Amino acid sequence: MEGFLQAVSELVGADRFLGEDAVGEELTHDEGLLTEPVVPIGVVFPESAGEVAELVRLARVHRVPLTARGSASGLSGACVPAPGGLVVSFARMNRILEIDRENQIAVVEPGVTLDELDAALEPHGLMYPVRPGEQSASLGGNVSTNAGGMRAVRFGVTRQNVLGIEVVLGTGELIRSGGKFVKSSSGYDVTQMLIGSEGTLGLVTEVTLKLQPLLPASATVLAPFDTLAEIATAIPEVLRRGLTPTILEYIDALTMGVMVENEKLDLNIPDEMRRRAAAYLVAVVDHRSESRVEEDLETLASLLTEFGALDVFVLPPQAGRGLVLARERAFYGAKAAGADEIVDVVVPRASIAEYLELAGKLAAEHGSFVAGCGHAGDGNVHLAVFQRDPALRERVLSALIGAGVALGGAISGEHGIGTAKSPVFMELESPARIALMRRVKDAFDPDGILNPDKIFGAER
């Protein structure tokens, strides 16, 4: 191990390498509520794809696990160091390499954060539409978790917005896949295989992103309802009628109360209505012109009223932005309130009502409590689960996730499996699919050095 660490330190220079003793606490965990911190044998900060390839070759020779690290805003423990392993931080590979206005494409290094990209694109009248709740997240982390967020209902998730990738495989080979083109029918899609692979198949060194024009006209709508079921029933209809909201979320009353309190939101909802509402629908409408926004607002308001909205408020711009930001930060409210885990099951959009009713019952049966909000337009719920007892918590998490899968959904809509959900992944996934995924992992990473304890669990 000494030889390996010496070689790593010589490769990048002493100022870009931290030995175990110098690793700060902040480098041992992510934001996951259930993930245990792990101290790595060191942290290295490469500055080029060539250095990353050399690091992988060294790790292969010495059989040392490597865990890629972006901004560590992940919620499933996916960037927590593998025990006995080295962390490869992409914080120093943070250059925006190109903004191509004609093709509406940006090429970035993986350490670029969403905030940095937004700031660089705005003067060009462009934006990258994927917006997971944490703007400090890196593009490398977004690719590796297939990040989603609130705007996915209109623009899709990372998978629909990454056109190409440069990556170092577990073999040390540096390959490119995809590029500045929007379609390809040229063999297996390696780009898509890498997206969502949580650093287990390759270390991403460059990403080519599809951009969208910034739309100047915007409005935020807030509609309180007596029941969550009414919102869940209205959602499919909003989309079926051809409306194209950029954001379509549900927030239960408890979560809204915490958001209003924590973020000092002034939404101007009459007291009586606030006391009565069990849940809220939030929609953002963006278009090229105010008239198009107005037209959509009219249709939306009459539709939501038809489905039981107590009222439909078009918020003043500042309050609207505040609400969206507060929704993005809802995780911190749940954490402060003592939530023990966040479940991000995705179900078919039209099954949200059924799922949420089931989730409440399952939680009660296990002496637990759930509350939350979610990307209703995507069928993606975010349930804060309150259960202190670890054994009971494991059972209720398995029941909640299992219920989503049984309704035709999936274990995680966007936060990934990491270590937090690997037990339930191994329990609920089809054995044949797990076996295939393992063969894919072996092809990309024959020695199993890339984030080996993630997705499939520590047994690897």
Ligand X SMILES: Cc1cc2nc3c(=O)[nH]c(=O)nc-3n(C[C@H](O)[C@H](O)[C@H](O)COP(=O)(O)OP(=O)(O)OC[C@H]3O[C@@H](n4cnc5c(N)ncnc54)[C@H](O)[C@@H]3O)c2cc1C
Task: Find the shortest distance in angstroms from Cβ 413 to ligand X.
Answer: 8
Identify the residue whose tokens are 């309130």. Answer: 337
- Residues near ligand X (CB under 6 A): 30-31, 67-75, 78-79, 90, 110, 132-134, 137-138, 140-142, 144-145, 147-149, 198-199, 203-204, 328-329, 331-332, 414-415, 451
243 Cβ contact partners less than 8 Å away, ≥ 6 residues apart: 285, 296, 299, 300, 303
When CB distances to ligand X are compared, the closest residue is 141
Task: Find the shortest distance in angstroms from Cβ 133 to ligand X.
Answer: 3
Task: Please give the backbone phi and psi of residue 244, each rounded to the nearest 5 degrees, phi first.
Answer: -125, 60
351 Cβ contact partners less than 8 Å away, ≥ 6 residues apart: 379, 407, 408, 409
Residue by residue, DSSP assigns 130-173 as: -B-S-TT-BHHHHHHHT--BTTHHHH--GGGTEEEEEEEETTS-
Task: Find the shortest distance in angstroms from Cβ 394 to ligand X.
Answer: 22
Q: How far apart are CA 199 and CA 217, in angstroms?
A: 38
Task: Find the shortest distance in angstroms from Cβ 326 to ligand X.
Answer: 11
Q: How far apart are CA 85 and CA 215, in angstroms?
A: 45
* C-beta separation of 165 from 257 below 8 A: no
State which residue, 121 or 169, has the beta carbon closest to ligand X: 169
Alpha-carbon distances of 77 from 142, 258, 378, rounded to whole Å = 14, 25, 24
364 Cβ contact partners less than 8 Å away, ≥ 6 residues apart: none
Task: Find the shortest distance in angstroms from Cβ 143 to ligand X.
Answer: 7
State which residue, 115 or 306, has the beta carbon closest to ligand X: 115
State which residue, 2 or 459, has the beta carbon closest to ligand X: 459
State which residue, 366 or 375, has the beta carbon closest to ligand X: 375
State which residue, 140 or 320, has the beta carbon closest to ligand X: 140
Task: Find the shortest distance in angstroms from Cβ 162 to ligand X.
Answer: 12
Alpha-carbon distances of 47 from 13, 114, 177, rounded to whole Å = 11, 19, 21
Task: Find the shortest distance in angstroms from Cβ 52 to ligand X.
Answer: 8
Q: How far apart are CA 404 and CA 172, in angstroms?
A: 38
State which residue, 21 or 26, has the beta carbon closest to ligand X: 26
Task: Find the shortest distance in angstroms from Cβ 136 to ligand X.
Answer: 7
Q: How far apart are CA 437 and CA 226, in angstroms?
A: 44
State which residue, 87 or 309, has the beta carbon closest to ligand X: 87
State which residue, 332 or 369, has the beta carbon closest to ligand X: 332
